[in-house]
Structure 1
Amino acid sequence: MHAGRLVFSQLMEFFPWRRFQTCVRRYGGDHKIKTFPCSEQLRVMAFAQLTYRESLRDIETCLRAVGNKLYHMGIRSSVSRNNLSHANHARDWRIYADFAQILIHKARSPYASDDLGIDLDATVYALDASTINLCLSMFPWARFRQTKGAVKLHTLLNLQGNIPEFILISDGKLHDVNVLDHLVPSPGAYYVMDRGYLDFTRLYQLHQAKAYFVTRAKKNLKFQRRYSHEVHKQTGVQCDQTIVLETYYSFQGYPEPLRRIRYYDQSLEKRLVFLTNNFDLPATTIATLYKSRWQIELFFKWIKQHLRIKSFYGTSQNAVKAQIWTAVSVYLLVAIVKNRLGIKLSLYTILQILSVSIFEKTPLVELNSQSDYKYSQPPCPNQLLLFD
């Protein structure tokens, strides 16, 4: 007799399944499908992410070993390599992309009040891209260089809670700066970027949208200094200037003044030059904002180490994108569960615990509790005493 609910089933309850079915109907994902619908495909792919399965054969073997529990996991169909491979190849990846956007919206609100450690009442985003290398002979559609294949994961990360706000999956040849054309700027927000996004025409569009940007200047930047602000060099700020671009095309792209800050980072023993369109914040706050950009590097490192997005279960473009979006959904799911249940552990620790307890029937709160709580079974009143 099956009593209690599996940890996997408890996790899946945090997915908004009615809204997922809306995404499925939008792209006809279950059209003429009698067995193994999109909802079961998502559950199987989530299981693979949570338990670090490496291949379709690995997924099939593990799920068949616990065949008597599949029904209680929400999987009614038989799981085979052929079924899952066909589903990943044929089901539109935009189903999972749209569903991930729904989860982003659900995860964003609870973390909106998180403290960044900066005295700033505004949303701060970090924009960057990470390359996922692929074998060109197996993924011919992902040509990057003559003998290499790759896809790029362009991400706009909300630094309050490290929740991805925008994700674009492209081939490896798309330059990072082109992603600025896909963004819808939020007025009053701060966008922190490295030098790869230094395009003055696109930055001026951010400025016209009443958004702020912080980026680094290139060494060959030509400008005219209009005004120098007073600085305290003990803070690391060496100069704080108001400048105007001197090169013709740069000035045509950004015709208004910019703020140039030169900062010496003692920990790196390196001089950094920042450009921003914000003239109100202290120079040290601008430097701290750029330093917070490192969070997106940690985000890329985390998902590559702890989710399955470097080895893929299919070779088609649809299968690769579906797997990446499923991995993002699992990351967001764990973030939502962490906030809803008030779990104090890190996302990494939660994932490690879930990976070894996915088939247990322990409540999620108890499973992720840092206390030494032990479940005690109440005494049975019908138990006879052997000794007085």
Structure 2
Amino acid sequence: MNQGKYVFTQILTFLPKRTFDGIVNKYNGNKYIRHFTCWNQLLCMIFGQLTNRDSLRDLIVALEVHDKKSYHLGIGKRVTRSNLAKANLKFKRMYSAKVDKTKGVLCDQIGKLTGFYTSKNYPDKLRRIKYYDSENKRTFVFLTNNMEATAEHIALLYKKRWQIELFFKWIKQHLKIKSFWGTSENTVRIQIYTAISTYCLVAIVAQELKINRSTYEILQVLGISLLDKTPVNELFKNIDYNNVNELEYKQLSINLF
């Protein structure tokens, strides 16, 4: 069944494409899309996750090297950086509200996105809040559609990040996110969701094929074998794992099965 297929293609057979397409159709994810669909984007992101790419540019370089294999991998005819990276958000200020700069809020603006696609996808008003964090000496800019909360409240929400510190430590240790490939909220969300989906996919593959190895070990092997044509279960036969030890962090543990 898997004879002659790339390891990456074999892994994808465990992804419920029909379910994914149903979700995309429900939310019009492919609206205005001609070639590079949500499915193509997902596969590219999973490929980058499994091969431990450090950045979007790094991922594109890796895909370009194997450009002739893209179709057979299910990724599409050609992948470019512009396909994967959303156009920079351009915000046009309409008016501003008064702010208390002693609380760190530098500006509270109301406006709209002016990019060709972004303005079509989100034509409503947005709020742009610029905040200076004196503790870390950093300036942050937030875009939100929350018109009710105070600027101070929205700006200080990021401090809640400490409540999910363990979760992000787990992400770094297990999902292999070395750095984010973009700075917008949507880009970060997509990368995290892809990393979690990839981790779950590998766990499913291990369960279905009865691979008696840790998810960490499986990820290590798959990361260097995606373009092999060896059946996945044979990749894990007669391999010495003595030198492939996962770091034993006393952090958040997620047991999927």
Scaled to the shorter chain, the TM-score interval is 0.5 to 0.7
Q: Which residue of 2 aligns with 1:339?
A: 207
1:144–1:172: 8 Å Cα contact kept in structure 2? no
Q: Distance in 2 between matches of 1:323 and 1:143?
A: 25
Q: Distance in 2 between matches of 1:332 and 1:142?
A: 37
Q: Distance in 2 between matches of 1:75 and 1:58?
A: 16
Amino acid in structure 2 at the alignment position of 1:351: L
Alignment TM-score, normalising by the size of structure 2: 0.63
Alignment of 1:1-388 (within 5 A): 4-86=4-86, 145-146=133-134, 147-148=137-138, 172-174=158-160, 301-370=169-238
The structure with the largest alpha-carbon Rg is 1
1:32 Cα shift? 1.7
Q: 1:56 to 1:142 in 2, by over 3 A?
A: farther
Q: Distance in 1 between matches of 2:195 and 2:175?
A: 6
1:143 Cα shift? 6.5
Q: 1:51 to 1:31 in 2, by over 3 A?
A: same
Write the deviation string for residues 308-356 of structure 1: whole angstroms up to 9, x where unpaired: 5341111111111111111110111111111111111111110100111
Gaps of 5+ in 1: 92-139, 151-169, 180-295, 373-388
Q: Distance in 2 between matches of 1:149 and 1:307?
A: 28
Q: Which residue of 1 aligns with 2:93?
A: none
Cα RMSD of the aligned pairs, angstroms, is: 3.2
Amino acid in structure 1 at the alignment position of 2:74: G
Q: Distance in 2 between matches of 1:319 and 1:356?
A: 25
Q: Distance in 1 between matches of 2:206 and 2:170?
A: 16
2:54–2:178: 8 Å Cα contact kept in structure 1? no
Aligned-residue sequence identity (percent) comes to 45
Q: 1:340 to 1:39 in 2, by over 3 A?
A: same
Q: 1:303 to 1:176 in 2, by over 3 A?
A: closer
Higher helix fraction (1 or 2): 2
1:45 Cα shift? 0.3
Q: Distance in 2 between matches of 1:74 and 1:364?
A: 17
Q: 1:326 to 1:340 in 2, by over 3 A?
A: same
Q: 1:175 to 1:86 in 2, by over 3 A?
A: closer
Partner secondary structure for residue 159 of structure 2 = coil
Q: Distance in 2 between matches of 1:326 and 1:355?
A: 15
Q: Which residue of 2 aligns with 1:118?
A: none
1:82 Cα shift? 1.0
Q: Distance in 1 between matches of 2:50 and 2:130?
A: 27
Q: Which residue of 1 aligns with 2:146?
A: none
Amino acid in structure 1 at the alignment position of 2:30: D
Gaps of 5+ in 2: 90-116, 119-127, 141-155, 241-257
1:50–1:354: 8 Å Cα contact kept in structure 2? yes
1:57 Cα shift? 1.5
Q: Distance in 1 between matches of 2:73 and 2:131?
A: 38
Alignment TM-score, normalising by the size of structure 1: 0.43
Q: Distance in 2 between matches of 1:143 and 1:331?
A: 35
Relative CO higher for 1 or 2, CA cutoff 8 Å, sep ≥ 6?
Answer: 2
Q: Distance in 1 between matches of 2:139 and 2:226?
A: 35
Number of aligned residue pairs: give it: 185
Q: 1:311 to 1:25 in 2, by over 3 A?
A: same
1:22 Cα shift? 1.3
